[in-house]
Copies of this chain bind each other. A is one copy, B any other.
Amino acid sequence: MPRSRVERHVDALFEWGIEVQSGDMVTIFASPPSQAFVNALHAKLGRIGAEPVTITGRPSSNIGVAGEHIAAFLANYDGTPTTPDHLQALVEASDAFIVIGGATNMHSTGRVPRATQQQRGKAMGPIMDTMMGSEQAVLVVHPTDAYAQHAGMSLPEFEDFVYQTSLRDWAAQNTRQERMRERLAAAEEARIVGPDTDLTLSLAGMCAINDIGDLNFPPGEVYTAPVLDSVNGVISFDKPTMMRGSEVEDIHLSIEDGTVRGFSARRNEAALKSVLETDAGSERIGEFGIGMNDAIDRVTGHISFDEKMGGTIHLALGRAYAKTVGAGREQNQSAVHIDLIKGMGESRLELDDDVVQENGEFVVE
């Protein structure tokens, strides 16, 4: 029997995103609209001989995607949410984690006070830390109506989009990304030049990572962190980004010695301001990434896709990934990590004065 797209999605996840052995204890987080993926995943785990337990909802500190029941819980909670010790016990006894992004409604937490959301986020911290500290933890997106609607597509259109971007020749993509990773790892300095944009960043002594499914799925970016004080210049981001539940458009930043000194946005500038004011690290740059998944050809409002869009680069405000920070270099610390995405259609990326990307096309390849 030919395998369905959902089954092939699960196969690809296990080939490129996560490694599970017979006897492993696997914890899955999923919402009801992703039941088809959950079923295919269980069939796979049966064949492997690993033991699954599926939690309804998401453990995220971003409770907007936690699920409608968690929203109902928090909307009625009159106090300070605590860490669920029994969930912590489950997570500590687990070998692998699969989080299935399959939202019912992107705004399910509309009635939850912001303070309760923040407290819940903190209470889930130890659980998130245990999961993120595992070698085997991956987020995968299953197409649901909520995501489709948010992306401005019908469900069949969004399904096509998810499978076209997730079911690819990952071996070939891996080779292609590895060449870019080597180029990025060797570079001393990057420069981004284009309309309202001229920004330089030092990459000296930092580590470049080839993302081929290590954190989320589909894969498709190469990323590093800039030397913290080295970022200088101005940059415009033409792709929208969700911040604090609002879509922020046409962001422009002016950066001096690694710190944002000026900012503007055409829409929802207040949300950008709120993010920048979170803490000391939130107005500094924690990541520089290059999107290389060419099947991602449009913005969906879901960062798992948007940050990997072909012909784009992104900078993240906030926390740097530890593995991108070289020995002796400072890792940017912050409660936030928010990617800002720039299409390179009219811009160019230079590494040590060599143009590697111009008008959205890679020159080095």
Q: Count of A residues near B, CB < 8 Å?
A: 50
State whether the Cβ of A54 lies closer than 8 Å to any Cβ in chain B. yes
Is A47 in contact with chain B by the CB < 8 A criterion?
yes
Contact between chains at B25 and A76 (CB < 8 Å): no
A25 touches B86 (CB 8 A): yes
Instruction: Find the B residue at minimum CB distance from A56.
Output: B54
Contact B55 A70 (CB under 8 A): no
In the docked arrangement, what's the CA distance between A93 and B22, Å? 26
A84 close to B (CB within 8 Å): yes
Whose C-beta in chain B lies nearest to the C-beta of A91? B86
Chain multiplicity (copies) = 2
Known: A38-B69, A93-B86. A75 touches B55 (CB 8 A): no
Task: Give the complex CA separation of A75 and B45 in angstroms.
Answer: 11
- Judging by beta carbons under 8 Å apart, are B30 and A78 in contact? no
Residue contact B94 to A74, C-beta cutoff 8 Å: no
Query: Which residues, 75 to 99 on A, are CB-close (under 8 Å) to B?
Result: 75-79, 81-94
- In the complex, whether A35 has a CB less than 8 A from a CB of chain B is yes
A72 within 8 A of B: yes
A43→B73 contact, CB < 8 A: yes
Inter-chain contacts of A42 with B (CB < 8 A):
69-70, 72-73, 76
Whether, in the assembled complex, A53 has its beta carbon less than 8 Å from a beta carbon of chain B, the answer is yes
Residues of B within 8 A of A82 (CB): 23, 51
Do B93 and A85 touch across chains, with their CB atoms under 8 A apart? yes
Within the complex, the shortest CB–CB distance from A91 to chain B, in Å, comes to 8
A326 at the interface (CB under 8 A from B): no
A347 part of interface (Cβ distance < 8 Å): no
Segment 20-79 of A: residues with Cβ below 8 Å from B = 22-23, 25, 27, 30, 32, 35, 38-47, 49, 51-57, 68-70, 72-79
The reply to whether B51 and A90 form a contact with Cβ atoms under 8 Å apart is no
Residue ID in chain B nearest A70 by CB atoms? B42
Asked if A46 meets B76 with Cβ closer than 8 Å, knowing A35-B69, A54-B55, A68-B35, the reply is yes
- C-alpha spacing A93/B86, complex, angstroms: 5
- With A51-B84, A56-B30 as given contacts, are A43 and B89 in contact (CB-CB < 8 Å)? no
Bound complex: CA A352 to CA B83 (Å)? 56
Whether A72 touches B40, Cβ cut-off 8 Å, given contacts A30-B56, A46-B77, is yes
Would A49 and B78 count as touching, CB distance under 8 A?
yes
- Chain A, 135-177, CB within 8 A of any chain B CB: none
Give Cα A53 to B39, complex, Å.
20
Q: Separation in Å of the A79 CB from the closest CB of chain B?
A: 6
Residues of A at the B interface (CB closer than 8 Å) are 22-23, 25, 27, 30, 32, 35, 38-47, 49, 51-57, 68-70, 72-79, 81-94
Nearest 10 interchain pairs by C-beta: A46-B76, A42-B73, A90-B90, A86-B93, A89-B93, A54-B56, A25-B86, A46-B77, A51-B84, A32-B32
18 more A-B residue pairs beyond the given contacts A38-B69, A90-B90, with a C-beta to C-beta distance below 8 A:
A22-B79, A25-B84, A25-B85, A25-B86, A30-B56, A38-B56, A42-B70, A42-B72, A42-B76, A46-B74, A46-B77, A47-B77, A49-B78, A49-B79, A51-B85, A52-B73, A53-B86, A86-B94
